[in-house]
Amino acid sequence: MQIRYAIAGSPVSHSLSPLLVEITAAHLRRANLDIEFNEFSLLDCSDVTVPMAWALTEKSRSHPSIASRLFGNPTLSQNHGRLQSAVHGVMSDVFAATPDLIPHGETLFHHGEERLKQRRGQSEAWISLTSPLKHQLNLRSGINCTDDGLHNGTVNQLRWDGSNWYCVGTDGAGLVAVARHFGFDFTLDGVDAPLLCMKGGGGAARSSAAAWARAGGKIWSLGGRRSLDNRGPWIDALIEPESVIDYTGKRLHIDFDLNPSEQSRDYPFGADIYLSSTYDSMDVGMVIEPTETGMRLDGRWLLVAQHLDAWARLYSPEAAHLLPGLGLSMNRLLAVETALRM
């Protein structure tokens, strides 16, 4: 199967998604799956019709790919080849996650569910959406959605199979997966339930609120540039600020109002995990950093988790049981970044 992949939004030059696509595909090829990417594109745009038009045409000239800050313009053969070479080297060396990346064991994304084989085109287009495109698709868009992403304005992944569009929102599922990976127990209830302390109300925030509530956690909305809608499926999980003091469950704090590559050093509320919603593609730094009350996690954790969830639920659900785990994928991503910087 030949696939074209694009990351679309503004800005996108910092995105590491193309690296994750190639890493995950290389892993699945080792399980004898026929997955080949013949094009990568970074589409800097503010209208979701741009990547959708890109998917319908080969080598679009109307909106060409821009250059990545890390590996250049991926549509150029030398840059694509350099990326593939870096991934090949890492795949030959990194077979397991280092212990600090799997503190409670590896996190997988098939969840023991039976996955039905989906219709495939000979050539497909897969698109990751980032701000400001996530809320632009709605129930009237004529797209098949397997979750509540269209209803909540939280779509961040699209697939065109040559005849039909499919979509899903994975920001929230990725956030919950990261929380579980670091020991959050969503079977607890009452004041022991995991508490999400969240700033922001955009697409990623709404997706996270919906997934956190669905998992059984509670949410403390901290406002932001755009407040979280109080009419969403997370309404029953919201708590009032005066109730927070009584909560004894683990807390995860995230600020979705940060700009791309912006790193916050504000650690309020005594949270167990401060998860950054962004990452700096030109500086790896520490992906797990201790704080006074717990730890700070780099935004790569959220990126990797939501990416793997996209493969499991949209891109290749029939192969979900073959996907690499969260810790292993993070290990490989860091190694590929290091190789590309040399």
Together in a domain, 205 and 138? no
Together in a domain, 81 and 70? yes
Q: What's the confidence (pLDDT) of residue 133? A: 94
The better pLDDT of the pair 211, 1 is held by 211
User: How far, in Å, CA of 284 to CA of 287, rounded?
Assistant: 7
CATH number at residue 72: 3.40.50.10860
Total domains in the fold of the chain: 2
User: How far, in Å, CA of 249 to CA of 251, rounded?
Assistant: 6
Helix, strand, or coil here: 252? Answer: strand
User: How far, in Å, CA of 82 to CA of 321, rounded?
Assistant: 29
Bridge partners of residue 36, in order along the sequence: 2
Together in a domain, 195 and 184? yes
User: How far, in Å, CA of 264 to CA of 258, rounded?
Assistant: 8
> Could you tell me which residues come within 8 angstroms of residue 77 by beta carbon, excluding any fewer than 6 positions away?
none
CATH number at residue 261: 3.40.50
User: How far, in Å, CA of 101 to CA of 330, rounded?
Assistant: 8
Of 10-14, 130-134, 157-161, 229-233, minimum mean pLDDT range: 229-233
- Domain span at 89: 2-170+306-341
Q: What's the confidence (pLDDT) of residue 53? A: 93
For residue 91, how many other CB atoms are within 10 A of its CB? 18
pLDDT tens sequence across 48-69: 999 999 999 876 566 889 999 9
H/E stretch holding 326 reads helix 326-341
pTM for this predicted structure: 0.95
Together in a domain, 268 and 337? no
Together in a domain, 284 and 314? no
Cα dihedral 130, 257, 302, 284 in deg (nearest 10)? 100
Together in a domain, 108 and 120? yes
Together in a domain, 115 and 228? no
For residue 181, how many other CB atoms are within 10 A of its CB? 22
Q: Mean pLDDT over all residues of the chain?
A: 91
| pLDDT beyond 80 at 264 | no
**Residue in the block written with tokens 């569910």:** 113
How would DSSP label each residue in 199-217?
E--SHHHHHHHHHHHHHT-
Together in a domain, 271 and 236? yes
Q: What's the confidence (pLDDT) of residue 256? A: 94
Of 70-84, 114-128, 175-189, 229-243, minimum mean pLDDT range: 114-128
Together in a domain, 197 and 296? yes
pLDDT tens sequence across 85-135: 999 999 999 999 999 999 999 999 987 666 655 667 778 999 999 999 998
